[in-house]
Amino acid sequence: MFRNTSMKSLLVLILIITTATTSFAQTDALEHNLWYNAEKTAKIQIYKAVDGKFYGKVAWLKVPEIDGKPKIDIHNPDKARRNDPILGLLLLKHFKKDGEHEYSDGTVYDPKNGKTYSCKMTLKKDKLDVRGYVGFSMLGRTTTWTKAE
């Protein structure tokens, strides 16, 4: 009788540990690596926030400074934000997972021109297609990001 109870307790303990470990280990494929932009001049870190949506910020720049000063967001439409550094800048906002490899309903900010576009992303193994558009997805442009590491 004691053996049977001990075995059941051991099995329950193993089940609890396995469940806890797998629930903590479940991260989305977007979060596993840094992503190079198409030109490989920046690495973007994508993460899932507490609101359950995905965001991405600049984690590395090939050329982080100009004349010894950090690159700043000079094209930002908000004049008060034009001195914000590009490093750490939030480029991707509010993406929700839409299927196994699709992310939609987000926006992408382009610091090269200061514009924000509607955006959807598609994960294809080591590549991430980032499609920015105005209005309809057909009226847009896709760039492909690659895993940086």
Examine residue 132 and state whether it is found in any structural domain, yes or no: yes
Under 8 Å between Cβ of 74 and 67: no
The reply to whether 78 falls in a domain is yes
Residue 87 maps to a domain: yes
Buried b (16+ CB within 10 A) or exposed e, 37-53: beeeebbbbbeeeeeeb
pLDDT tens digit sequence for 24-63: 446 888 887 899 999 999 999 999 999 999 999 999 999 9
The answer as to whether 61 is a domain residue is yes
Number of domains in the chain: 1
In a domain, 13, yes or no: no
Helices (H), the chain: 2-25
Domain residue limits at 78: 28-147
- Residue 78, domain CATH: 2.40.128.520
Task: Give this prediction's pTM.
Answer: 0.81
User: How far apart are the C-alpha atoms of 59 and 137, rounded to whole Å?
Assistant: 27
For 64, the 3-state DSSP assignment is coil
- What local confidence, expressed as pLDDT, does residue 123 receive? 96
